[in-house]
């Protein structure tokens, strides 16, 4: 590809798929499509990483009366089934996983830290950030896929572009909340992010 490229798979977790506490229509289908994509294209990437919402005590991010802008129903509670990756997402070949949002709202994968596997608490605040890890591995370009297009995918892609990575969003491997994603796509393109 000429440039070291990583695939960043954002928050393809049970709570964001059908049947979850904050379900996005098409989430399960995205999990399956990403798995199929990886079966054919994993060798196109120098690294494949995942992000995972992992809430311990995120404060006002959780609410019994959410406004669905700044507050949301409880979701992706650390160690819960809802926080697990969707079973149709095969991440056996992933090189790293980054957890975010332990004690505050976190939408971008660039707010996450390298997970300490086997750490049930998911307290990884002292480990490498996604940006640090990508730079340490010589990555200059990222493709972003996952859930939700207009929230965590958007925030991750915008942070990637701001951090200097050549960034693409793989729209066919994402699921969004809004019925009309045109404003999100326009914002991404205006920020120099390619849609593929």
CA–centroid distance for 146 within its chain: 6
Among candidate residues 11, 15, 53, 131, the one labeled active-site is: 11
From the candidates 17, 46, 76, 100, which is the catalytic residue?
Answer: 100
Tell me which residue has tokens 């699921």: 175
Whether residue 152 lies in the annotated active site? yes
In the residue annotation, 53 being an active-site residue is answered as no
Question: Which of 129, 183, 181 lies closest to 160 in space, CA to CA?
Answer: 129
Q: What's the angle, vertex CA 188, arms to CA 186 and CA 194, rounded to 5?
A: 105
CA 135 – CA 138 distance, rounded (Å): 5
**11 included as an active-site residue:** yes
- The catalytically annotated residue of 53, 152, 159, 174 is 152
Active site residues: 11, 100, 152
């Amino acid at each position: 590809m000429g440039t070291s490229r990583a695939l960043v798979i954002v928050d393809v977790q049970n709570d964001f798929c059908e049947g979850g506490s904050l379900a996005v229509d098409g989430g399960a289908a995205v999990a399956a499509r990403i798995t199929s994509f990886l079966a054919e294209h994993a060798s196109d990437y120098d690294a494949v990483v995942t992000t995972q919402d992992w809430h311990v005590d995120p404060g006002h991010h959780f609410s019994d009366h959410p406004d669905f802008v700044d507050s949301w129903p409880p979701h992706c509670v650390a160690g819960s089934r809802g926080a697990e990756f969707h079973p149709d997402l095969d991440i056996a070949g992933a090189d790293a996983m980054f957890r975010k949002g332990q004690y505050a709202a976190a939408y971008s994968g660039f707010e996450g830290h390298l997970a300490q596997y086997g750490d049930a608490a998911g307290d990884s605040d002292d480990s490498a950030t996604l940006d640090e890890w990508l730079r340490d591995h010589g990555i200059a370009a990222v493709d972003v896929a996952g859930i939700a297009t207009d929230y965590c995918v958007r925030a991750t892609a915008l942070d990637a572009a701001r951090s200097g990575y050549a960034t693409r969003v793989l729209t066919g491997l994402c699921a969004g909340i809004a019925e009309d994603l045109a404003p999100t796509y326009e914002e991404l393109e205006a920020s120099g992010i390619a849609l593929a």
